[in-house]
Chain A
């Protein structure tokens, strides 16, 4: 069934705004129309507002302004419960099932809220799981399922619980390729039965085949909505990419002439295994080395393991097995992806800049002169826009705060610099200058380890890189595994 413009839309979101408590504007006046029987794909970079928009439609968060209409009638969702009652369900990124409960318990809770029979829903979910290639025992605890199974279960529940519309945030991120393809087929069947399906995805290739309409979001506003019919088959991907990043991808500098001869070894990860908070291994029996003056980027396409690897090397997270060798006295500095993990956002910018020397030293009076001069030095170098160094760090925009912390760490004479998601939530200009910072830090003799989920980061920085997939490192050119033999690489 084609998305007909003659029909009345099933769901209309009008002028939706979301401004979070910290002042971050996630959505500024987005309109969206969703028709019954269509697959509607939301596209956009990280931070474009896709998830926020879905969460507003599902009642999980309330918009700061704007209204939602179902079949022309205005509705206010105070909670997902209200949306479920109206027949709108949502599958969250990864999974949002309660881990300590069984699959069956989770299903019966949703069924109650949606006003449908629990056993009935259970049967339908099992059937859908089967269609996706998974065997489900309703008595098994969610925590015992694999990430892929959890995600499939989440999606299966949502598909069957939503009578009118099903919202899906990155439903295939953790699924196997085979299951993802099965899901796409299944979605078409459900759409043909008249349901509206809204889906976000990073994988443009995957959704290029499936969507009836595509809405592209950028920094909280709608850039465009295009109908599949208006695109001719082959150029779907190109058109979408053009909408998403008008400058294209060529602007990135690939200049690596500044690379210097590698010096002594500064980091040796020996046959290490690292697990995340839920105990899932994100790095398995892997070895790699880093020398002074060298930059190595590890790219995790699905984003898993980025934080954990950084934390393990910095010393915040225990290894499950193996060893990390760092020469005694090595000065390690670490730029995490979130500013709040390396600062006290409520305290002034200047104090946050001097935080390491304040904490490292003895108890004494604050040396205000020193604090002011360091602050000025860092701010000047980072070219962050800081109205007053005595205003709290959190009063800066995300990008500026990130610059301040990045330069604080990089300019503290590190021997080893760990950079997590160097360009997360940064615009192109800021991303370029972080790349410059990383290069100059390395050229001053530090080893720099970049761990990221952005494929473009190593290109932007111009450095050697490896892909992290399913806990192992791959060489991007040969797709061969590297570092699985202790002492190799």
Chain B
């Protein structure tokens, strides 16, 4: 391969990895604090939808991104209220939020756009954010379509440092290892979890916006198609280690790029249903392989604790 096609390949690899990495990095912190949030699928979808609608009406992708972030974190805080404060089952709350999000975005989309083919937005997030990229020294706008990509690559590294050698990291780990004991040590476990979830909502909203107003320029029903669930599963696969998360996500993105290129080249005919179901298959396979891993935060998934 020549140089341009290599950088094109890496560019599309990073384009695919960015939204998943954004969500998975924050989901990793959230899980280390003891919460498994399947609502990211919904937060991402709501982000994608909000970004699209706002951009459509204001023609400002930046405003679209900001609203996606706002609503994404709102969805996440809703999750926190139900799963952290009301102590409802985390998995069920996450699944329900995602299901309602699929329904609600489809419904509102029909209400706003109708049944015709969706109007494309005028200028995408990538156009809007291009100026910022010039400030990034190495191969700025050839590899990175938006600043979200370098951010997404930096997050796992930052979180690796955070968890390894900071008080905040210790507090997060304590909340996930043993919330009762963390509470006895003076940690406000519910608050720690809620803050992390809110941050994850921001990341999910941004990731969703990237899909709709970044790459695609429009919205499709259920356009996240299991990527949020996959991000959750990839956290499990990387044994809750930020150092392993980065390569894990990149490998999965590589598989997807390879599959897309293979399909485009027409060498092998893959039923499109198989391609679409990949995130779900991977998620299920990871659940089968890695569930009950010894490295899991000890209280992961359970909101019940006493001080």
Contact = CB atoms under 8 A, between A and B. Distances in A.
Nearest to A84: B186
Given A60-B307, A61-B307, A109 B184 contact: no
B167 to A, nearest CB: 5
A98 B173 contact: yes
A90 B181 CA distance: 12
B170 to A, nearest CB: 4
A118 interface: yes
A205 B183 CA distance: 33
Contacts of A110: 185-186
Given A79-B183, A80-B184, A81-B188, A100 B177 contact: yes
A143 to B, nearest CB: 10
Contact of B186 (A55, A80, A118): A80
A109 B183 contact: no
Interface string A76-116: 00011100100000101000111111000110111011100
A108 B307 CA distance: 19
B185 A80 contact: yes
Contact of A114 (B178, B182, B186): B186
B174 A109 contact: yes
A105 B168 CA distance: 10
Contacts of A98: 173-174, 177-178, 181-182, 185
A370 to B, nearest CB: 37
Nearest to B295: A100
Contact of A81 (B173, B178, B186, B306): B186
A245 B224 CA distance: 69
A112 B177 contact: no
Interface in A376-435: none
Contacts of B185: 80, 96-98, 106, 109-110, 113
Contacts of B297: 100
Contacts of A55: 307
Nearest to A114: B186
A92 B177 contact: no
Nearest to A81: B186
B184 A90 contact: yes
A118 B187 CA distance: 15
Contacts of B180: 96
B183 to A, nearest CB: 6
A105 B174 contact: yes
Contacts of B306: 60-61
**Which of A92, A97, A98, A113 has the largest number of chain B CB atoms within 10 A?**
A98
A109 B182 contact: yes
B171 interface: yes
Contacts of A97: 181, 185
Interface in A43-87: 55, 58-61, 79-81, 84
A101 B177 contact: yes
Given A60-B183, A84-B186, A90-B184, A108 B167 contact: yes
Contacts of B167: 105, 108-109, 112, 118
Contacts of A105: 167, 170, 173-174
Contact of A109 (B187, B298, B307): B187
Nearest to A109: B185
**Which of B181, B182, B184, B307 has the largest number of chain A CB atoms within 10 A?**
B184
Nearest to B173: A101
B181 A80 contact: no
A112 B184 contact: no
B184 A96 contact: yes
A467 B158 CA distance: 54
B187 to A, nearest CB: 6
Interface string B52-69: 000000000000000000
B307 A113 contact: no
Contact of A100 (B178, B184, B307): B178
A384 B178 CA distance: 39
Interface string B178-198: 101111111110000000000
Nearest to B297: A100
A99 B173 CA distance: 10
Contacts of A80: 183-186, 307
B174 A81 contact: no
Nearest to B179: A98
A113 B182 CA distance: 11
Interface in A112-144: 112-114, 118
Contacts of B171: 109, 112
Contacts of A113: 185-187
A60 B184 contact: yes
A274 B240 CA distance: 31
B195 to A, nearest CB: 15
B168 to A, nearest CB: 10
5 closest pairs, A vs B, by CB?
A: A113-B186, A105-B170, A100-B177, A81-B186, A60-B307
Interface of A: 55, 58-61, 79-81, 84, 90, 92, 96-101, 105-106, 108-110, 112-114, 118
9 contacts: A60-B307, A79-B186, A80-B184, A81-B188, A97-B185, A101-B173, A105-B167, A109-B171, A112-B186
Given A98-B185, A100-B178, A101-B173, 4 more contacts: A79-B307, A100-B297, A101-B170, A113-B187
